[in-house]
Amino acid sequence: MNTDDKDLLTTDFCGLRFDSPIVLLSGCVGFGEEYTRIKGFSNRDVGAVCLKGTTQDARLGNAPHRVCETPMGMINAIGLQNPGVEVVVSEILPSLDFSETRFIANVSGSTIEEYVEVARRFEDSAIDAIEINISCPNVKEGGVAFGNDPDMSARVVAAVRAVTRKPLITKLSPNQTDIADNARRCIEAGTDAFAVINTLMGMAIDIDSRTPIIGNNQGGLSGPAIKPVALLKVHQVYQICREHGIPIIGQGGINSAEDALEFLIAGASAIGIGTALFYDPLICPKINAGIAAYLREHDLANVAQLTGSLILN
């Protein structure tokens, strides 16, 4: 990152200093080590890295195919493949450089009790914050049921809140009737922040075999195709969050600095990059430069001044 841009891009998120408003999204960078091998990539170009979804026990994930490219997007159904929380805490976290960026754990589970146990284990670790994945659309139990039911969402948040003092980020599903009401219930239950949105549910079909391409039959649609939906959801959730000072990581199809700026204006305090990394691993410094240039052009001192600055018709 250009040192001249640092003051412009530094962001406070739940009391954590992010050197950039960019967060690398869970599932897109493994446990933080995958992208460090790419020449030219620097963790200093991002504010935080959200680690791969972690469950209590190891999971092998779904049967293949797990990923399918679609027009302007991608469907994935990985199925939360991970080595389990004990391996993540005892073997993976010690290998990460916490001086370079912030690291956020992504907690997943099939039961409320599992969410609690995984969060409890991360509470005693070096992790900077915990994201609760209550809205994963590519597992057959838990996940999507919790995320689409405001009562269940609030119960998960309250249960995890009781076992951790770390900043708690709730990842909201777009596949529900009233995302703003769900956000309100989660705030009452104790969440500190939101990630908006998780993927939309989608399907792709092989017309020759007449079978779903994804082994799980359905999966999460991400990429530019979902950006207009994600923007609206961020705007809707921001109407609830601004009353309580709750920040949002806006995500869903961000592919450029212009996209990132739209999410900030709609109400996001930080922006999540995921699918774009698969075809441009070095997109983060480009987005940082574009945001900084916009701030200078409009005489804004910091990216925080953009958050929620949307002027409605």
Q: Is the dihedral of CA 59, 204, 195, 51 positive or negative?
A: positive
Question: Percentage of the chain surpassing pLDDT 70?
Answer: 95
C-alpha Rg value of the chain to the nearest Å: 18
The ranges assigned to domains in the chain are: 3-306
Mean pLDDT of all residues in the chain? Answer: 93
Residue 82, SS3 per DSSP: strand
At 32, the pLDDT band (50, 70, 90 cuts) reads confident
Q: CB under 8 Å, gap of 24 or more: what pairs does 148-152 form?
A: 148/173, 148/175, 148/176, 149/176, 150/176, 150/178, 150/181, 150/182, 150/185, 151/185
At 36, the pLDDT band (50, 70, 90 cuts) reads low
The mean pLDDT of 52-63, rounded to a whole number, is: 96
Helix runs in 59-149, H state only:
85-87, 112-123, 144-148
User: How is residue 173 written in tokens?
Assistant: 């599903």
Q: Is the pTM of this model over 0.75?
A: yes
d(CA 213, CA 92) in angstroms, rounded, equals 33
Give the pLDDT score at 231. Answer: 98
Distance of CA 54 to the CA centre of its chain: 14
Is 3-306 in CATH node 3.20.20.70? Answer: yes
Q: Which pairing describes strands 16-18 and 11-13: parallel, antiparallel, or unpaired?
A: antiparallel
At 83, the pLDDT band (50, 70, 90 cuts) reads very high
Give the pLDDT score at 39. Answer: 72
Give the pLDDT score at 138. Answer: 45
Residue type, 162: A
The mean pLDDT of 160-177, rounded to a whole number, is: 95
Give the pLDDT score at 42. Answer: 77
Give the pLDDT score at 177. Answer: 87
The mean pLDDT of 195-211, rounded to a whole number, is: 96
CA proximity to 135, closest of 155, 109, 117, 102: 109
d(CA 12, CA 294) in angstroms, rounded, equals 19
Q: Which residues contact 74 (CB under 8 A, 6 or more apart)?
A: 67, 68, 221, 222, 223, 275, 278
Give the pLDDT score at 268. Answer: 98
User: How is residue 181 written in tokens?
Assistant: 């009401």
Residue 211, SS3 per DSSP: strand
Give the pLDDT score at 175. Answer: 86
Using alpha carbons, list the distances in angstroms from residue 45 to 10, 193, 288: 11, 22, 8
At 235, the pLDDT band (50, 70, 90 cuts) reads very high
The mean pLDDT of 20-47, rounded to a whole number, is: 85
Residue with tokens 């705030």: 187
CA proximity to 269, closest of 9, 5, 56: 9
Does pLDDT of 103 surpass 70?
yes
The mean pLDDT of 143-156, rounded to a whole number, is: 81
d(CA 271, CA 290) in angstroms, rounded, equals 13
Does pLDDT of 1 surpass 70?
no
Give the pLDDT score at 208. Answer: 98
Active site residues: 136
At 170, the pLDDT band (50, 70, 90 cuts) reads very high
Does pLDDT of 276 surpass 80?
yes
User: How is residue 253 written in tokens?
Assistant: 């199809």
At 44, the pLDDT band (50, 70, 90 cuts) reads confident
* Selected residue with higher pLDDT from 85 and 136: 85
